[in-house]
Chains A and B, each alone.
Chain A
Amino acid sequence: MIVLADRYMYTAFARDVARGVSPEWIRKLYSFAITPDMAFYFKVPIEVAISRLLGGTRGQFKYYEAGMDMNLSPDVTESFRIFQSSILAQYEKIVDEFQLITMDATKDIEAQQNVMRQLVGEALKDYKPRRGTHGRRTVFWRRFDEPKSE
């Protein structure tokens, strides 16, 4: 089967190090993670991220994504800018360290999707699709509600 992961260990490598966690420690912690066959990094300048979040349907920042727990600034937008900039700086290192595919996320969705489909298509050219069920999806090994992704 194909697994699509919305965020992966690289999120922790960027975000937790920006929060003051040791870069070596976080990598050892996740050493049990499977290295993905492909990993994409959607890159946008900080100002684009800010204007999208403020201008989009949400219209505001979440407490932790703005790094408000770190007392960087009493102003939420300023705190977001400082914290997320430091995350972006970490991602720059991670892209090199783990050879992530950088996507220009300032482009429109369709253009990005076309690039992704072409890259994924190439990567899957020798892959034989396999299915267990036909459209019926059940999560059978968890007793809990399916958690929402961030």
Chain B
Amino acid sequence: MVDAQYFGDGLTNLNPSDLKGKLIAIEGTDGVGRSTHIEMLQEWLEVQGYGVLTTGWTRSNLMSKTIEMAKEGNILDRWSFSLLYATDFADRLEHEIIPALRSGFIVLADRYIYTAFARDFVRSGNRQWVRDVFGFALVPDLVCYLRIDVETLVLRVIETKGMNFWESGMDLRLGSDLYDSFKKYQSLLIEEFDKMAEEFHFEVIDARKSPDEIQDALRSKIQPLLTTNLRSPELPSDRLIQPA
């Protein structure tokens, strides 16, 4: 990240231009297939000899259990909702993302600050506060946005894991039932993602296509970022252990 920078007010004790790796964020709404594609990207990169770290929303050691518990209680309001996720992100930034970038890894982020921006905006109608909160985030080298329309998304989610309270934005009382609310909530999120896609120059990938086509599209966006000096020099790629 040669010209790496913070999104807003950064960490005063860390100069981000020292970070050698690449930060790639994969954004897109619930059920769009992010984690499947990230798994495939990780394997694709690792067999070429790149060090890869995958980091996902709510997966920090510090906060994952707390967030689970708070979600179960269905008692989150706008501030606590956004701050829990910001804390989770801060913990992963300090303990996963920055150390990995410093050692030249490619970091694949399953969701990034734009998810928080969309969710907070849908709940508050205000864009500024949450963007200020995430000022300490690093601006990614690349943001790929898996874009889907809500009709296709609904079919996909019903066929797979179903809808839950928070993915349906039930706290917002947008609809009379889970299905109704899911559609309205996800439509609002997609609308906001579409606006951010222009503002922050996301690479938009059509997530209605087949998994193979999506994966190819992702790889073609990532390829230009890859440089040979990120590769591990000692280990030829055929000796690397394939991820399970």
Chain B residues with CB under 8 Å of A28's CB are: 9, 129, 132-133, 135
Chain B residues with CB under 8 Å of A74's CB are: none
Chain A residues with CB under 8 Å of B10's CB are: 22
Contact, CB under 8 Å: B75 / A22 = no
Contact, CB under 8 Å: A29 / B69 = no
Chain A contact residues (Cβ within 8 angstroms of B): what range? Answer: 10 to 19
User: Which chain B residue lies CB-closest to A31?
Assistant: B129
Task: Name the contact of A143 in the complex, choosing from B11, B75, B132 (C-beta under 8 A).
Answer: B75
Chain A residues with CB under 8 Å of B242's CB are: none
Please measure, in the bound complex, the distance between the C-alpha atom of A142 and the C-alpha atom of B135, giving whole angstroms: 30
Chain B residues with CB under 8 Å of A20's CB are: 11-13
- The answer to the question of A64 belonging to the interface, with a C-beta cut-off of 8 Å to chain B, is no
Contact, CB under 8 Å: A142 / B132 = no
The contact string, 1 if C-beta is below 8 Å from chain A, for chain B 1-38, is 00000001111110000000000000000000000000
In chain B, residues 125-152, which have Cβ atoms closer than 8 Å to a Cβ of chain A? 129, 132-133, 135-136
Chain A residues with CB under 8 Å of B79's CB are: 32
Knowing A20-B11, A20-B12, A142-B75, the reply to whether A25 touches B69 (Cβ < 8 A) is: no
Chain B contact residues (Cβ within 8 angstroms of A): what range? Answer: 10 to 19
Contact, CB under 8 Å: A25 / B13 = no
Knowing A21-B12, A28-B135, the reply to whether A141 touches B129 (Cβ < 8 A) is: no
The contact string, 1 if C-beta is below 8 Å from chain B, for chain A 83-119, is 0000000000000000000000000000000000000
Contact, CB under 8 Å: A143 / B135 = no
User: Which chain A residue lies CB-closest to B8?
Assistant: A25
In the assembled complex, the CB of A16 is this many whole angstroms from the nearest CB of chain B, namely 11
Task: Name the contact of A32 in the complex, choosing from B69, B129, B135 (C-beta under 8 A).
Answer: B129
- The answer to the question of B243 belonging to the interface, with a C-beta cut-off of 8 Å to chain A, is no
Contact, CB under 8 Å: B69 / A144 = yes
- The answer to the question of B224 belonging to the interface, with a C-beta cut-off of 8 Å to chain A, is no
Given contact pairs A28-B132, A29-B133, A32-B79, enumerate 6 new A-B contacts (beta carbons under 8 Å): A20-B11, A21-B12, A22-B12, A25-B135, A142-B75, A143-B75
Interface residues of B (CB under 8 A from A): 8-13, 69, 73, 75, 79, 129, 132-133, 135-136
